[in-house]
Amino acid sequence: MLYNIPIDYRLISDKILRKLIISRLNKYNAMVSRMTPEQINKKQELFREYCSNRPMAINTLEANKQHYEVPAEFFTKMLSKHMKYSGSIWQDTSKLNNSDENTLKLYANRTEINDGDTILELGAGWGALSLYIAQNFKNSFITAVTNSKQQKQYISTKIKEFNLTNMKVILSDVNDFDPQDKFDRIMSIEMFEHLRNPSLLFKKIDTWLTKNGKLFIQVFSHREYPQFFDNTRSSWMAKNFFTGGMMPYAGFYKDICKPLSQNQQWTISGSNYHYTLEAWLKRLDDNNTELQSLLRKSWPHNISNRYINRYRLFLLICSELFKYNDGKDWHIMHYLFSKKS
């Protein structure tokens, strides 16, 4: 991809990059706007049908390398003190730590956690949610699952640091995870978009939940038009940061959640994710010198520069995408499911 050269060497200003991104989003929006409701429904139907004939998750190793091949310290310099690597809900647009903490509390409330519940988190990231629950629901036991060795090591260190006896972390690919225990609550924050056939996981989760168990997920979505990130030859995002992922349409998971049933669904303006991404970008830039030194311990000078510059573009693209049309086109969604009685 020839356009990697100006990106890798940061030859284009952020102002121009943002204009180029918005121009691409305008074209995409115009394409979607020209479609009739019947065409949109057909697109969604074909999307569901394609997913239903695929493995549960694909390209898991590639996706893992794209985000977690760098040291954990890279993320400690970019994320909040909670190490939450997902979109949060903002009321005060100046404080990332507060936004993340309030959102973690909201997750617990919407999942209807009771102190004493057994809880499973799938795709635990750097452990923000599991660690929060373990510290605030002392009588609950939390199992965090990640497919990243670095994340498992980081979470294990935090469990010891906080002297938590009600939490454990497991290293496992979601395709292979097969717990022997049942759980009162299962939670997953921005992992389902990395699945190709989520209905297979819904079926498994149904067997993992207790009789009155519930599943809570956070996902990002487009208001109506779904998309796969498979074309690594022409899509910069698919090649560098989201291989094998998807942008589902709003309501997709309600349509495929059997044998579970949906209790509730929330739509949250994409502007919230925009604020999160801008906060990450600011911290990335503020700590650029330190991050360069950190990466150069493992990589040559040009490789460390390239990674940071590509990561900056990743943040810029996502930020403008979720900001687009006042956050009404691409947004965050929460779903709560339960076992059918």
CB 336 within 8 A of CB 40: no
- The stretch 83-110 carries a mean pLDDT of 94
pLDDT of 338 > 90? The answer is yes
Global confidence as pTM: 0.95
Q: Considering only CA atoms, which of 150, 183, 152 is closest in space to residue 169?
A: 152
Q: Are strands 183-189 and 118-122 parallel, antiparallel or unpaired?
A: parallel
The more confidently predicted of residues 241 and 181 is 181
pLDDT of 64 > 70? The answer is no
Residues 256-287 pLDDT 10s: 999 999 999 999 999 999 999 999 999 999 99
Q: Considering only CA atoms, which of 274, 53, 21, 60 is closest in space to residue 148?
A: 60
pLDDT for residue 254: 98
* Residue ranges covered by each domain of the chain: 4-338
CB 8 within 8 A of CB 310: yes
pLDDT band of 127, cuts 50, 70, 90: very high
Helix (H, G, I), strand (E, B) or coil at 178: coil
> What is the distance of C-alpha 169 from the center of its chain?
19
Mean confidence (pLDDT) of the chain: 94
pLDDT for residue 242: 84
Percent of the chain with pLDDT over 90: 84
pLDDT for residue 287: 97
Residues 304-324 pLDDT 10s: 899 999 999 999 999 999 999
Separation between Cα atoms, residue 111 and residue 185, nearest integer Å: 7
CATH superfamily of 4-338: Vaccinia Virus protein VP39 (3.40.50.150)
pLDDT band of 100, cuts 50, 70, 90: very high
pLDDT of 3 > 70? The answer is no
pLDDT band of 68, cuts 50, 70, 90: low
pLDDT for residue 70: 79
Q: Are strands 209-222 and 245-247 parallel, antiparallel or unpaired?
A: unpaired
pLDDT for residue 1: 53
Residues 196-251 pLDDT 10s: 999 999 999 999 999 999 999 999 999 999 999 987 677 888 788 888 899 999 99
Nearest 5°: CA angle at 246, between 244 and 249? 165
pLDDT for residue 177: 96
